[in-house]
């Protein structure tokens, strides 16, 4: 069994205002903590991983490839199929905090490249 505390991880700033920290993981999945500052955007991207998540604080707007917008609020969960293009925007006044689970495991992306 693996135990990983968020306090023991140094987050990676993937883009301005978006911090990610890989937490516990195994061969088939891993957990990632995220914080997205007000006004920050995760750029449109896709990945082969299935992604599920849970929002703890703030309001996050997902923008899908077809322009559909899905608003996620505290205590909401979500699932994004592998290969689906999506972006995420913090349009609110407070930091968004939550966790994602990726299968297969994913390392911190660097969307600056």
**Residue range 1-41, pLDDT digits in tens:** 999 999 999 999 999 999 999 999 999 999 999 999 999 99
List, in order, residues 6 or more apart from 99 with CB less than 8 Å away.
23, 31, 32, 33, 34, 53, 54, 56
Reply yes or no on whether the pLDDT at 67 is more than 90: yes
Reply yes or no on whether the pLDDT at 113 is more than 70: no
36 falls within a domain: no
32 falls within a domain: no
* Strand, coil or helix: 73: coil
Mean pLDDT of 83-101: 98
For the chain, how many structural domains are there in total?
A: 1
This model's pTM is above 0.85: yes
Mean pLDDT of 84-100: 98
Domain residues for the domain of 90 are 43-48+63-69+79-95
Summary count for the chain: helices (H), strands (E): 0, 10
Contact (CB, 8 A) for 61 and 42 = no
Which pLDDT belongs to residue 109?
78
């Amino acid at each position: 069994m693996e135990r990983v505390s968020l306090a023991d991880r140094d987050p990676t700033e993937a883009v301005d205002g978006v911090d990610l920290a890989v937490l516990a993981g195994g061969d088939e999945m891993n957990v990632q903590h995220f914080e997205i500052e007000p006004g920050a955007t995760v750029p449109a991207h896709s990945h082969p991983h299935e992604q599920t998540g849970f929002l703890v604080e703030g309001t996050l707007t997902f923008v899908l490839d077809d322009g559909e917008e899905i608003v996620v609020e505290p205590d909401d969960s979500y699932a994004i199929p592998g290969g689906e293009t999506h972006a995420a925007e913090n349009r609110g006044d407070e930091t968004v905090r939550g966790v994602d689970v990726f299968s297969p495991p994913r390392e911190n992306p660097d969307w600056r490249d």
